[in-house]
Amino acid sequence: MNDSPGCPLVGVAATYMPRLSEFSFEPGLVAAVDQHAAAVRDALIPAQRGPVDGSVDVLAAHRAVHRGDLSDYVLGFTDWLSEVDWVEPVGHDFATLRLTAVCWLIREHDLLGR
């Protein structure tokens, strides 16, 4: 289990995991977070193209996200947010949706439970 204070996923999960409970109240939020989770997953695990017809390898889309890779992604993303002096708004903007999607990936891949 990686629950050390130095792991960026711990702080993101503590702050944004509660937003997952908003899914039942905001149906559009599920779709938005799903799109962000797919974008993060694609950044970490690029889809592989088949050699003959160029189709997407379905198995590549379902490979596991690894804690170290997602931690590196979060560090880069939160560094960028600091650089642009981002302030968390009331509601949802690109950054809150992305960080909520990170929480979804943390939960779905049990990245803090191992």
pLDDT in tens, 13-68: 999 999 999 888 888 999 999 999 999 999 998 764 444 555 555 554 456 899 99
Model pLDDT, residue 5? 54
Model pLDDT, residue 32? 95
Alpha carbons 40 and 42: distance in angstroms, whole number: 5
Model pLDDT, residue 55? 53
Over residues 71-83, the pLDDT tens digits come to 999 999 999 999 9
Half-sphere exposure of 60 (CA within 13 A, CB side): 12
pTM value is 0.81
Q: Does residue 3 surpass a pLDDT of 70?
A: no
Q: Number of helices (H) and strands (E) in the chain: give both, helices first.
A: 5, 0
